[in-house]
Amino acid sequence: MLPTSDDLQVIYGPNAAERVAKSSVLVVGAGGVGCELLKNLATAGFLRITVIDLDTIDVSNLNRQFLFRRQHVGKSKAIEAANAISKFAPDAQIRPMMANVRDNTFDVTFFRQFTLVCNALDNLEARRHVNRMCLAADVPLIESGSTGYNGQASVIAKGVECYDCVQRLPQKTYAVCTIRSTPDKPVHCIVWAKYLFDLLFGPDDDANVLKDLDLNRSPTPAQPKQNGEAQHTASAENGHSEPLDKHQNGQSPVPDSANGKHFEEQKQTDPRKRLRYSSDDTAHIFAERVAHRVFVADIEAQRAMEDLWRQRSPPILFDVTSAAKKEPVSLEKVDLLSQSVWDADHSAAVFMAVLRDIINHRVSEIGSLTFDKDDNHAMLFVAAAANLRANAYGVPLQSPFATKGIAGNIVHAIATTNAMVGGIIVLEALKIATSDGKIDKCVTTFVSQAPRGSRVKTILCPEMLTKPNPKCFVCSNGQPHVSVDLDQFTLKQFREYVLKKKLSMKEPEVYVANNILYETYHDLDEDDVEMYQSNCNKTLAKLNVENGTQLTISDFKQNLKCTIHISHTENLLLDKPIQERFVLDGNVPVPTPQADSNDHDSAEDVDADEVVEVGEERQIADGVADKSAERLGPGAREINSRERAQPDGEVANAHVPSKDRERDAGTKRPLEESNAREESQKKKARS
């Protein structure tokens, strides 16, 4: 039986119970932790709750997100969670919003209407954004997370450590050449398959590491060996005695089907045609072209590079189209949660079927699709393509369940951990709500599995809140350092890959000394727009950014300003795609030894957004920074007197726009208008 309002007055005391009931709480995320949190808030007496979540319910959510049932699959998490809570807590006013919390609608004014904000997110970019918005709005934030048996909840506010203060473990990265040509682990094949999906169905991106496949620019393959021709073998001193043209399973590098009629017909396809779908393709033709170019023509080209295979077996050709005909599959019956490993023939059948199905049913989406672990077509494609790639290179094949764990960066959730974290969040929320927003009694609590054999079974470990990290560029005066090849990196790439992707900024403006390289006013003059667009296509060097330059960055959407120190390193990280050719802390990383090829952890973190820690602050050589302050770079507009840069690199009166324009009318709307807008969104969401 749920506690009544009278019960809560006895438990909390009359004044405290009233404060809790009147508190307005924003919950961001309605997943595993979010479901527990919403239930706990409503039953603990919080009656004014807004929940934001952009996601829809997937079958895989049902084992731990208990507010949802099978009939809710495909529907909004926020809306269905609100409906479920209303059934057992009818006094609670739950306002659901199916939206992205990073949308411009949710500005500082929006956040200021809440007593506190609770994060229940699984997305780094969104977490960092909410952290900054709450600091700007001066609203306490309870940050939380869970991974397997581990979890935590902590309070963030001005004067204590924020989310960006803490060093996060960097993602594991892999060299492009390994992904492209020499995979030796399942994760390499899965990352490759994700790139292939984006290449075929996503935006036409020249930065995709498989772009040469699309344009058919693979190296010219050597002539195949004739029967009886000697095979390469490794010397005895390398410990190999088997022919390197065979994998351990004894498969021939060129299967018998390669000599069949169908294989010869495939070779007659126009080699100049792009791999991506075109309007004159049928689903059948498109699927066969992809299968042949990816698993035959490209493998032939890779095999021709003999230097790659002196220490390992070369990849084998595999006629995917013929193999797929051995056991046709129905995609509706394929279980992505199965832990049975698909063999090469079954993977081929799924691969061809999903290619045809996307063309037949989602052709209008081609060009905008990107990999999403909750998109069945995407997961079927990646699971099948990764296994076919693994089969070619002698890498162990994976079950679809294991593939999803790697491709989606999933450490499979434990419902009990989510429940514990949800309870801890509410305990901290009660402290804030009953003390007029004060956080002096709040703590950070860690959840962990009790160590085996230990005398003290410590599962919950509370700690006092810590002071801000003085090197944090969000809540302190930290100044990041970026090493980059200034002759290669453009301003557009700097904004997109460094400021937006790595530092999770929303709409960053870039200043150098008294000059504006890029700004984001909503009513810019046409001449300004043209100039800034022109600047975006110029390299940083052509904008007179040089070694030692200090850039001032302002993001008015997040009320954030910082100084970034630039270092020039020629030909930096040329083996990586352009979006990774920079180092945020100013040091070129030392390559780490390759992990053992037998390490196939399905929970390995493959390509989650990397969390960047700002490195040690470095002294700028005397006179170097001064030079950048004396120049008026080409394409830069001079800042007027009200925006003049200060000695510390921050822009004075940054909220006062040039030319007497209001910088962002969206951040100055009255509360009544904001509430009216949200009520309108609520009605739309419910409809």
Chain-centroid distance, C-alpha 598: 27
Residues 487/504, Cβ–Cβ less than 8 Å: no
Chain-centroid distance, C-alpha 660: 38
Which residues have CB under 8 Å from 598's CB, separation 6+?
A: none
Question: Shortest CA distance to 43 belongs to which of 11, 10, 9, 85?
Answer: 85
Q: 64 among the known binding-site residues?
A: yes
Q: 274 among the known binding-site residues?
A: no
Residues 275 and 221: their CA atoms lie apart, in Å, by 18
Q: What is the DSSP letter of 152?
A: E
DSSP string, 300-341: HHHHH-GGGGSSSPPPPP--HHHHHTTS---GGG--TT--SP
Q: 124 among the known binding-site residues?
A: yes
Q: Would you call 667 helix, strand, or coil by DSSP?
A: helix
Q: Would you call 50 helix, strand, or coil by DSSP?
A: strand
Q: 77 among the known binding-site residues?
A: yes
Q: What is the Cα Rg of the chain in Å?
A: 28
Question: Is 177 among the residues known to form the active site?
Answer: yes
Give the number of other CB atoms < 10 A from CB of residue 189: 27
Phi, psi for 398 (deg, rounded to 5): -120, 155
Q: 151 among the known binding-site residues?
A: no
Sign of the C-alpha dihedral, residues 22, 25, 31, 32?
negative
> Side chain identity at 18, as an amino acid letter?
E
Tokens at 586, concatenated: 């100013």
Residues 496/582, Cβ–Cβ less than 8 Å: no
Q: 394 among the known binding-site residues?
A: no
Considering 35, 118, 134, 177, which one is annotated as catalytic? 177
Q: 31 among the known binding-site residues?
A: yes
Q: Which residues pair with 462 in a beta bridge?
A: 445
Give the number of other CB atoms < 10 A from CB of residue 674: 18
Tokens at 181, concatenated: 């040509």
Q: 34 among the known binding-site residues?
A: yes
Residues 27 and 50: their CA atoms lie apart, in Å, by 6
Q: 125 among the known binding-site residues?
A: yes
Q: 32 among the known binding-site residues?
A: yes
Give the number of other CB atoms < 10 A from CB of residue 123: 19
Q: 127 among the known binding-site residues?
A: yes
> Side chain identity at 450, as an amino acid letter?
A
Residues 266 and 589: their CA atoms lie apart, in Å, by 44
Tokens at 268, concatenated: 């007659």
Give the number of other CB atoms < 10 A from CB of residue 417: 24
Residues 86 and 351: their CA atoms lie apart, in Å, by 44
Residues 637/535, Cβ–Cβ less than 8 Å: no
Q: 199 among the known binding-site residues?
A: no
Q: 478 among the known binding-site residues?
A: no
Q: 61 among the known binding-site residues?
A: yes
* DSSP element (H, E) containing 386: helix 376-393
Look at strands 481-484 and 582-583 and give their pairing: antiparallel
Q: 126 among the known binding-site residues?
A: yes
Q: 536 among the known binding-site residues?
A: no
Residues 400 and 378: their CA atoms lie apart, in Å, by 12
Question: Shortest CA distance to 280 belongs to which of 270, 291, 265, 266?
Answer: 270
Residues 37/118, Cβ–Cβ less than 8 Å: yes
Tokens at 541, concatenated: 């060097």
Residues 287 and 302: their CA atoms lie apart, in Å, by 21
Q: 461 among the known binding-site residues?
A: no
Give the number of other CB atoms < 10 A from CB of residue 39: 20
Q: 442 among the known binding-site residues?
A: no
**Orientation of helix 400-407 relative to helix 376-393, angle to 10°:** 100
Tokens at 353, concatenated: 């079927």
Residues 271 and 390: their CA atoms lie apart, in Å, by 25
Give the number of other CB atoms < 10 A from CB of residue 649: 22
Q: 62 among the known binding-site residues?
A: yes
Q: Which residues belong to the annotated binding site?
A: 29-34, 53, 61-64, 77, 122-127, 162, 165, 472, 475
Return the active site residues: 177
Q: Which residues belong to the annotated binding site for ATP?
A: 29-34, 53, 61-64, 77, 122-127
Q: Which residues belong to the annotated binding site for Zn(2+)?
A: 162, 165, 472, 475
